[in-house]
Structure formats: C-alpha cells, structure tokens
C-alpha cells in the first residue's frame, strides 16, 4: 500500500470533510481515507495495482470539491486569504450604506425626498437593489457550493445561506417590480439588507478562518531555516565548502566557533561547548570533546572541532523533528463545530418543511402568492444568520478578551478543545523555570567570605561569554561589587577558565579542572555533592593554588509556576512535567512546583511520542512548552500552548501563545475556554429557540386556525432579533473575570 496526501479546495465545514472522505473511500483500491479539515488535506492509502491518483482526484471532483496533489500548484491557484479579504472589503463597502439607508428608514429618520420610501418608493427600492447586487455577486461562491451540495444530496451550511439569501433577494426583486407597477405597499416587503448582511457576516467568519489556516506551514519553514546551507569538509586532504545536503556519512566536517553544525556527528578532534537550547530547550551549553555526539543545527560556541558525520539529510535529528511536526499537524482530527453537526439535520429539515408547507397551501387554496409567501417566510426565518454567528462571534469576542490578557488564541478549535482537557503536560526549562541560569548558592572557604569569593569569581569570568559566567557577573553587579578585568584570560573548553587578576592566579571551573591542577577541594566536595543532587551546576574557585569556595548556578522556578500547578490541579487536571534533563534535576524542580508525575531524560523528538502515550490512555492533552524540541509535542497534543519567550518554531506550532511568560495564564486560558464554549451553547439555544417558535408560525400554523399569516418582513425581523440576541450574549464575554 502507498500513502498519498492531497490538498483539497472547497471545504467549509465538517460535513464537507465527511463528503470528501466518503467519496475517496469508495474508490476501488483505497484502504484508508482521512480528511483533516484544519489543514485541508486528504490522506489515502491505496494499492497502485488497483487504482491511480487520477481516480481519487476524479472522485473528489464528482463530490463537488477539488483535489490537488502538488502543493506549489495549490499555492499558485488558491491565495485563499487574499481572495476572501477582497470579497469581504467589497461586501462591506456596499453593505454599510445599504444598512444605513434601510435602518434609517425603519427607525423613522427623515430621508431626503428623492430616496424616501414614501416620496420616491421606486428609487428607494432600486438603490437597495443596486447596493445588494454586488454583494450577491461577490458571494457567488456560496451559491455555487450550496447548489452543488444540494444537487448531490448533501446540503450543508452553504445551501441554507444560498437559499435564504437568494429567497430574500429574489423576493425583494419581485417586490421592486410590484412597486414599479404602482403597488407601493410592497415597499415594506424589501429584504435586500437581510441578504447582504448575511453574506457579509458569513464572509467575515470565513476570512478569519482562512487567515488562521494560512499559517499552518510556518513552523516547518522556521525549522528548515535552522539547518546551515553549507558545510566545510575534508576531502582528499583538502578543505572544501560544499552544500550540507552533499555531506555523506563518515565524512569529516570542520566547524568553527559561532557556526552551526551542518549534520549530526561525533567529535574526532578538538574541545568546545555547544548551545543546544534551540533543540533541547536546555539553557546551559553542553561541553563537547573527542567522542561526544553533536546535533545538526546546534551552535558551536568557542572551539574549532572536527566531526565525523553519522546522520545526514533526512536522517538528522532536525529533519526527524520536522517530519514529526508535519505528521502531528496532519494527524490532528478536525474539531467539528456544533453548528455544523446540527446543520446536517437542520438544513434538509427546514427545506422539507418550507416545500411541504408551501405545497400544502398551494393545493389547499390555489393561492400562489400565499404559498410563495409561506415558502419565503420559512426560509428567511430559518436562515442560518444566528446559527452561523453563534460560534464565530463568541470565538471572536473570546479571543479578543484573551488578547487583552496576553493570551493569543490562534483558532476557535483550540478554544473549544482546551475546556475538555484532562492532562496538562509542562516542559521544564523555559516553561516551569525561567530558562536563565542564576547564582543560587555561594559557599566560601573558612578563610574567605561571600563577597570576596564573588569578586574573585566575577573577575575570573569577566571576559567569558558562557551563561554560567554571565550568571556570576550579574550576581556581582547586583551586590554592587566592582569587577576587576583580568590581565590575562584563557578559556578552557570542557573545564572552565584560567585568569590573572590583581596579582592572583585564578581558576574557575569544574572539579576535574581542580584535580588536574592539583588543587585540594576535599573540604568543598561534600557541599558540592549536595548542591549537585539538586540539579545545580557547580563552579569551583581557586586562587594561587588554594580552593577559595564554590558557587552553584541553576535554572530557577518561574514566578507563579507553583500557583498555576495548584490551580490546574484544583480544576481537575492531572499535571505532568516532561524534560530532557536528568531525573535528579527534574524531580527537584517538580517538588518545588508541586508536581508528582515526572517524565525525565526524554531525548529530542521523543516528547511527541510521550504525548501520544498519554493520549492513548484516553486523555485529552494540553502541552505547554517553549523550545524547538517542544514543537512536535505541541503539534501532537490536542492543544499546544507556547510560552511567549520561546522559539519562533514553538510559537508557530502552538495553538495558543502566552505573551507574558506566566504559567498562570494557562489557567486563565482554561477559564476563558470554558466560558466561551458555554456562551456558544447558549447562542445555539437562542438561535434554535426562535426557529422552533418561528418556523411553525411561518408555515401558517396560526393562519390555519384563522389567525394571521406571518409576513416575510416579520420573519426577517425575527431573524434579525435572533442574530442580535446572539451578539449581545457573546459580548458578555468581554466582562469575564479571569
């Protein structure tokens, strides 16, 4: 079996995705067909001997959609966001004056006589028609899609939009003709503004959705940009610069300070330290010497090294992470909106009721005008303006409320899903912690003191760019210590630094450095071991051959993390910490944060697999992270939340971004999600409440017993009121206390 992915054009709701999926699955030789509405892609597994790609494309075309198997062709043929933006602009340009004109007349505002409905009814009607026609033409895709799905027996939201607006527009043209014939009573039976307003409002929702989808590939592009395009290799005894894609396994690669490693490999010559934070999320550089593994796209900080390539091209760690992000984004199940689910039943029922009622009245009375009035009234009162607004308006207000709180929610789907989460998985470095090493402990020798030891350490590290050195110098600066710039300074990659300052020979670095230089550290080894057991990095200080003390540096818990974990637990979520750091360090941080479940020593790229394991146990998972290695996990989780200080890739792969780098904002997001979805359900209730009351009346239930027949104008007013009630209810989210 062969797997193949197609870009699909023309899908607007969950029912569209289901139709495409069914059409593809019916093709002989297809064993699996799945549609992802979020990225508008169809994935199939097929037997090449029994079917061809053209058969799949034809099946999708017959279903009323377009399948494209070349992404470049898709991008060229479908600038969807730009196209919808143009449609929206034109719709607003004509709808606004139309609404001002009609609402002014309905409100009793005196209009100039040449456009007054009383003085110049025909002019009043024609102006409305001329303003509405461009909106209808601009929204012709509704009619095309709605007609196609109707003719294929799969009516959806587009069908109702098309029928409702077409009915309102055509009936208004009929009324305009009657006005032209001298029957001025029909000036009150114009529903042009209803048709224009519905098309414009639905287009707003489609535009916002398309704009969100257009960013789907940004995370992949960010990852691809990390890989250096060129590599310096040793071939035939000569140094050559070649494209990184041309490096072969086993080849020797030279990497200078400041350069990125072009491939995964093993150091064969030289000593350095590598910044792997972009891949691992860990802020402290990793020392590299002969035999150490290096990862492509990580940065060589301070020493020239020669590496033997072990993984190249698509086999590198970076390439595997890119593949994981792609797979995770493609495998996300589309979140079917409640309105789309209901419309699958609602649309055909409304159409059947409209036809049934109008046919019944036509047969019973022979009055075509009465039957047509009933048909129009049912379609107008049931037109899905409120139904279409129920979700997007609440989502717009909810996401706007979130934005003011520093919560950037990229889609309504993320907002909807977050409320159902059962597990929150938190990355450690940069998420639970600040991601920035700071001095946590200073242990001076009996013959020294804290300030003297700190001055000694800061002077030795004054010319170093190492993050530990920066932490020491920051602490010295905060303590008001004037640092002495060393006369001589030597960086010792993998060990520490050697410096001469104020006539003293200073060593600052690891226990291994002290041992090699014959410095006695016996008195400091016990406190060093205790601090190391807490996951802290230990810096020994020696002056003129004597150990003067040690300084511990560590990544500290981010402010508010403990409170956030406690609140998430109170809300019923299980909190899990995941990290590539050692189990010892991880458990120490977890204890401080109040987290009982820890997954440590996770290799880059494996976090996504851990997320899958948690999901496979029946949980709905929120993943919170900030590093590149978090990107696949963010995409794999049901909802990915990125800390705002994280990498661009993590921010792009996530569904929600926390601008203020505060984990307590995860709690705010959950509260906002629950409140917004509750509001959407209320909106749907009110939207259907008016339909349940209004449709029987529009069908002539009261008229059957001698009561009045619902005028289409009243039906339009009821429809407008249902839309207003939905908007008013959604606006309450603005005052939500988070």
Q: How would you classify the pairing of strands 423-427 and 621-625?
A: parallel
Query: Considering 158, 264, 427, 630, which one is annotated as catalytic?
Result: 427
Q: Is 662 a known active-site residue? A: no
User: What pLDDT, on the 0 to 100 scale, is given for residue 329?
Assistant: 44
Task: Identify the residue with better confidence: 71 or 205.
Answer: 205
User: What pLDDT, on the 0 to 100 scale, is given for residue 698?
Assistant: 85
Query: What is the percent of the chain where pLDDT is above 70?
Result: 84
User: What pLDDT, on the 0 to 100 scale, is given for residue 711?
Assistant: 65
User: What pLDDT, on the 0 to 100 scale, is given for residue 563?
Assistant: 95
pLDDT of residue 90 exceeding 90, the answer is yes
Q: Give the separation between CA 508 and CA 463, rounded to whole angstroms.
A: 12
**649 confidence band (pLDDT: 50, 70, 90):** low
**328 confidence band (pLDDT: 50, 70, 90):** very low
User: What pLDDT, on the 0 to 100 scale, is given for residue 70?
Assistant: 55
User: What pLDDT, on the 0 to 100 scale, is given for residue 330?
Assistant: 45
pLDDT of residue 335 exceeding 50, the answer is no
User: What pLDDT, on the 0 to 100 scale, is given for residue 52?
Assistant: 83
Q: For the segment 703-733, what is each residue's pLDDT rounded down to a tens digit?
A: 888 888 876 556 656 665 676 677 778 888 8
User: What pLDDT, on the 0 to 100 scale, is given for residue 720?
Assistant: 59
Q: Which fold has domain 222-328?
A: 2.70.150
Q: Give the separation between CA 389 and CA 42, rounded to whole angstroms.
A: 28
Q: For the segment 336-372, what is each residue's pLDDT rounded down to a tens digit?
A: 345 555 655 777 788 788 889 999 999 999 887 788 7
Mean pLDDT of 24-35: 84
- Residue 638, SS3 per DSSP: coil
Domains in the chain: boundaries = 2-77, 80-214, 222-328, 434-556
Phi, psi angle pair for 273, to nearest 5°: -130, 150
Arithmetic mean of pLDDT over the chain: 82
> What CA–CA distances, in Å, run from 525 to 374, 412, 454?
91, 55, 19
Task: Identify the residue with better confidence: 537 or 627.
Answer: 537
Q: For the segment 563-572, what is each residue's pLDDT rounded down to a tens digit?
A: 999 999 999 9
User: What pLDDT, on the 0 to 100 scale, is given for residue 162?
Assistant: 82
Q: Give the separation between CA 645 and CA 665, rounded to whole angstroms.
A: 14
CATH of domain 2-77: 3.30.70.100
Mean pLDDT of 168-191: 88
**281 confidence band (pLDDT: 50, 70, 90):** low
Q: Residues with Cβ < 8 Å from 621, sequence gap 6 or more?
A: 421, 422, 423, 424, 425, 611, 614, 615, 637, 638, 639
Q: For the segment 438-483, what is each residue's pLDDT rounded down to a tens digit?
A: 999 999 998 888 999 999 999 999 888 788 888 999 999 988 888 8
pLDDT of residue 527 exceeding 70, the answer is yes
Tell me the β-bridge partners of 537: 553
Task: Identify the residue with better confidence: 604 or 2.
Answer: 2
Q: What is the DSSP string of 365-401?
A: H--HHHHHHHHHHHHHHT-THHHHHHHHHHHHHHHHH
Q: Give the separation between CA 370 and CA 704, rounded to whole angstroms.
A: 12
User: What pLDDT, on the 0 to 100 scale, is given for residue 176?
Assistant: 94
Phi, psi angle pair for 281, to nearest 5°: 85, -10
pLDDT of residue 227 exceeding 60, the answer is yes
Mean pLDDT of 534-559: 90
Q: Residues with Cβ < 8 Å from 701, sequence gap 6 or more?
A: none
User: What pLDDT, on the 0 to 100 scale, is given for residue 388?
Assistant: 60
Q: What is the pTM of this model?
A: 0.60
pLDDT of residue 501 exceeding 70, the answer is yes
User: What pLDDT, on the 0 to 100 scale, is given for residue 149?
Assistant: 74
Q: Which CATH class is domain 434-556?
A: alpha beta
Phi, psi angle pair for 305, to nearest 5°: -135, 160
Mean pLDDT of 365-380: 79
User: What pLDDT, on the 0 to 100 scale, is given for residue 156?
Assistant: 64
pLDDT of residue 170 exceeding 60, the answer is yes
Task: Identify the residue with better confidence: 189 or 521.
Answer: 521
Q: Residues with Cβ < 8 Å from 146, sequence gap 6 or more?
A: 155, 156, 158, 159, 160, 161, 162, 163
pLDDT of residue 505 exceeding 80, the answer is yes
Task: Identify the residue with better confidence: 23 or 212.
Answer: 23
Mean pLDDT of 238-243: 90
Mean pLDDT of 228-239: 89
pLDDT of residue 561 exceeding 80, the answer is yes
Q: Residues with Cβ < 8 Å from 135, sequence gap 6 or more?
A: 90, 91, 94, 95, 98, 195, 196, 199, 200
Least confident of 160-169, 238-247, 619-628, 666-675: 160-169
**74 confidence band (pLDDT: 50, 70, 90):** very low
User: What pLDDT, on the 0 to 100 scale, is given for residue 693?
Assistant: 80
Structure tokens at 166: 């077409």
Q: Residues with Cβ < 8 Å from 1, sequence gap 6 or more?
A: 31, 32, 45, 46, 47
User: What pLDDT, on the 0 to 100 scale, is given for residue 651?
Assistant: 61
DSSP 8-state symbol, 3? E
pLDDT of residue 75 exceeding 50, the answer is no
Mean pLDDT of 265-288: 80
Structure tokens at 508: 């600052």
């Amino acid at each position: 079996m062969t797997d193949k992915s197609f870009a699909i054009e023309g899908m607007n709701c969950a029912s569209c995705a289901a139709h495409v999926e069914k059409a593809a699955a019916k093709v002989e030789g297809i064993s699996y067909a799945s549609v992802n509405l979020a990225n508008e892609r169809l994935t199939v597994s097929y037997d090449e001997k029994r079917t061809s790609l053209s058969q799949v494309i034809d099946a999708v075309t017959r279903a009323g959609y377009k399948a494209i198997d070349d992404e470049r062709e898709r991008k060229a043929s479908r600038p969807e966001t730009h196209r919808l933006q143009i449609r929206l602009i034109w719709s607003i340009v004509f709808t606004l004056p139309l609404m001002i004109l009609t609402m002014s007349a309905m409100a009793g505002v005196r209009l100039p006589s040449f456009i007054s409905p009383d003085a110049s009814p025909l002019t009043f009607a024609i102006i409305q028609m001329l303003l509405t026609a461009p909106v209808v033409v601009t929204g012709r895709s509704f009619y095309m899609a709605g007609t196609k799905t109707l003719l294929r027996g799969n009516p959806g939201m587009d069908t109702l939009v098309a029928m409702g607006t077409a009915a309102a527009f055509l009936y208004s043209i009929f009324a305009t003709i009657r006005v032209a014939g001298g029957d001025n009573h029909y000036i009150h039976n114009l529903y042009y503004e209803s048709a224009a307003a519905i098309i414009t409002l639905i287009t707003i929702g489609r535009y916002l959705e398309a704009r969100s989808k257009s960013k789907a590939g940004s995370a992949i592009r960010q990852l691809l940009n990390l890989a250096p395009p060129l590599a310096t290799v040793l071939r035939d005894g000569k140094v050559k610069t070649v494209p990184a894609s041309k490096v072969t396994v086993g080849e020797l690669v030279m990497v200078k300070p400041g350069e990125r490693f072009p491939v995964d490999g093993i150091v064969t010559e030289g000593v350095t330290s590598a910044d792997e934070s972009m891949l691992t999320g860990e802020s402290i550089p990793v020392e590299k010497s002969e035999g150490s593994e290096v990862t492509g796209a990580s940065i060589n900080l301070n020493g020239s090294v020669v590496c033997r390539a072990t993984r190249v091209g698509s086999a590198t760690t970076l390439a595997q992470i890119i593949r994981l992000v792609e797979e995770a984004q493609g495998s996300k199940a589309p979140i079917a909106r409640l309105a789309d689910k209901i419309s699958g039943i609602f649309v055909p029922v409304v159409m059947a009721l409209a036809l049934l009622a109008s046919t019944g009245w036509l047969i019973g009375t022979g009055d075509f005008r009465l039957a047509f009035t009933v048909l129009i009234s049912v379609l107008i009162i049931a037109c899905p303006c409120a139904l279409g607004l129920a979700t997007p308006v609440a989502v717009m207000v909810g996401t706007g409320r979130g934005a003011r709180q520093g919560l950037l929610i990229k889609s309504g789907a993320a907002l909807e899903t977050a409320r159902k989460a059962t597990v929150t998985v938190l990355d450690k470095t940069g998420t639970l912690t600040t991601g920035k090493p700071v001095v946590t402990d200073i242990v001076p020798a009996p013959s020294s003191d804290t300030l003297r030891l700190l001055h000694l350490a800061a002077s030795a590290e004054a010319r170093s760019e190492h993050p530990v050195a920066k932490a020491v110098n920051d602490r010295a600066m905060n303590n008001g210590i004037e640092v002495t710039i060393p006369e001589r300074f030597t960086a010792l990659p993998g060990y520490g630094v050697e410096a001469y300052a104020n006539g003293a020979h200073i060593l600052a670095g690891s226990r291994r450095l002290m041992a090699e230089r014959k410095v006695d550290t016996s008195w400091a080894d016990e406190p060093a071991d205790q601090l190391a057991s807490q996951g802290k990095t230990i810096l020994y200080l020696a002056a003129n051959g004597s150990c003067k003390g040690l300084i511990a540096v560590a990544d500290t818990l981010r402010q508010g993390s403990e409170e956030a974990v406690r609140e998430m637990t109170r809300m019923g979520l299980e909190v899990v910490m995941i990290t590539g750091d050692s189990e010892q360090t991880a458990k120490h941080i977890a204890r401080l944060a109040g987290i009982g479940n820890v997954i440590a020593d996770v290799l880059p790229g494996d976090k996504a697999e851990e997320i899958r394991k948690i999901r496979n146990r029946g949980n709905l998972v929120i993943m919170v992270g900030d590093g590149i290695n978090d990107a696949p996990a963010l995409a794999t989780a049901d909802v990915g939340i990125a800390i705002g200080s994280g990498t661009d890739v993590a921010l792009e792969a996530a569904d929600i971004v926390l601008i203020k780098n505060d984990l307590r904002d995860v709690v705010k997001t959950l509260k906002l999600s629950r409140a917004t979805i509750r509001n959407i359900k209320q909106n749907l209730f009110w939207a259907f409440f008016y339909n349940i009351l209004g449709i029987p009346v529009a069908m002539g239930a009261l008229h059957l017993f001698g009561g009045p027949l619902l005028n289409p104008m009243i039906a339009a007013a009821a429809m407008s009121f249902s839309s207003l009630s939905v908007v008013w209810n959604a606006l309450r989210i603005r005052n939500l206390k988070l």
